[in-house]
Chain A
Amino acid sequence: MDAETRRDRFEAVAPGLIEPLRRFLARRTDAATADDVLGDTLLVCWRRLDELPDEPLPWAYGVARHCLANADRGARRQQRVAARVATVDPPAATAPGPGEADGGPDTGLDEALARLRPDDAELLRLWAWEQLTPAEIATVLDITANAASIRLHRAREKLRAELRKTSGVAGHEGSREGRTS
């Protein structure tokens, strides 16, 4: 692929990736990290343009996941420093975590999601938030479509089980099935 063709292909594909990738990252990290990782992700997409599949988004989510993991590793090394800075000069705003979004927190769901294994919670996020099919989830996580389908099914079951445990306390729609008396 010559330089001109590369540019044309990237310019055709990348604008469609940016918005979903921004959201993907906003759901998983703070705003500053999301910005950095978006840049890193696009850079990888640009460099590996030849590998970009016809349906590039799930593949790009997979790249973003790796870039985010790299950023997190870097961040962990700096956690002690950051904690010290935060106490002296607290950040003005933080990205809302799951359950803190507009429209009132669903703490039951938030807590249930937090109690799941990280892999299961991530499957559910990809399914519900990124609205991916099991085959697309498989591309993101680099597993087979069959495995993605089975794990997703199990993850949903686990989440329902967790929701039933807490529904008596905080659930709204879940309280219907959780009431025992």
Chain B
Amino acid sequence: MSDEHDDELRARLRAVDPAASLAPADPSRVARLLEDTMSNDLMTETRETGTHGRSPLTWLVAAAAAVIIAAVGAFGVLRHDAGSDQPPSAARDQTPTVTELTGPSGGVDAKCMVPSAAVLGQATLAFDGTVQKITDGVVTLVPSHVYAGPATDVVTITAAPEAMQQLVGAVKFEDNGRYLISSTNGQVSVCGFSGPYTADLAALYDEAFAS
């Protein structure tokens, strides 16, 4: 076939280009997208830079989380030893495992990156759960599916009153609401990484934690 025929075919294809009517991207959005992208440097993150700037509270929470995990583990081991005395399920029912998280540190108006599976996949805990109760400063959720992290019966999220306002503003917890929550080092991730259950967010979680 000649070039002329190719040109004709290309022109006909171009006439049905679905992106032909796409408006150029807003420059401020482009600038934000670039900045968000460059704020990610997980591949070259060293231990030193990766932990730089975290507040003492983060370390406290991480330490508390480690204690809880150790305690849960020890409980499991001890319970296993005492297993001959009573059925394991009964013991489990009496003492549900609780995973404690805290609200985000810093304002939720801090710069957010575009939620992506690659970043979400770094979360240490991620689950699909329903709010059981909200009392002052504590949201209690019952996970129905744990994507990442240790299995747990209940997850509590605590935050200082003023931070709770921000957390509620960021995630809008409601009684009996279904949520997808992810956290890193005991802190709930906001900025679109946690939120009310939607098919889109669930797809992101599926992708992030697909094995």
Contact = CB atoms under 8 A, between A and B. Distances in A.
Contacts of A100: 18
A23 B41 CA distance: 26
Interface residues of A, number: 57
Contacts of A32: 200
A150 interface: no
Contacts of B200: 32
B22 A26 contact: yes
Contacts of B40: 43, 46-47
A46 B37 contact: yes
B204 A129 contact: no
B82 interface: no
B36 to A, nearest CB: 7
A102 B20 contact: yes
Interface stretch (A52-60, A75-83, A141-149): A75-83
Contact of B114 (A39, A101, A129, A156): A39
Interface of B: 1, 5-6, 8-10, 12-22, 24-25, 30, 33-34, 36-38, 40-43, 113-119, 198-200, 202-204, 206-207, 210
Given A7-B38, A22-B22, A173 B202 contact: no
Given A36-B204, A129-B17, A156-B6, 11 more contacts: A11-B38, A14-B37, A27-B18, A35-B114, A39-B36, A46-B41, A74-B203, A81-B202, A82-B199, A96-B18, A156-B1
Contacts of B36: 39
A38 B9 contact: no
B30 A129 contact: no
A40 interface: yes
B5 to A, nearest CB: 8
A160 to B, nearest CB: 7
Nearest to B17: A129
Contact of B12 (A15, A26, A105, A106): A106
B13 A124 contact: yes
A119 interface: no
Contacts of A128: 9-10, 13-14, 17
13 contacts: A11-B34, A14-B37, A15-B30, A18-B34, A19-B24, A40-B116, A47-B41, A81-B202, A85-B198, A85-B199, A96-B18, A101-B16, A160-B5
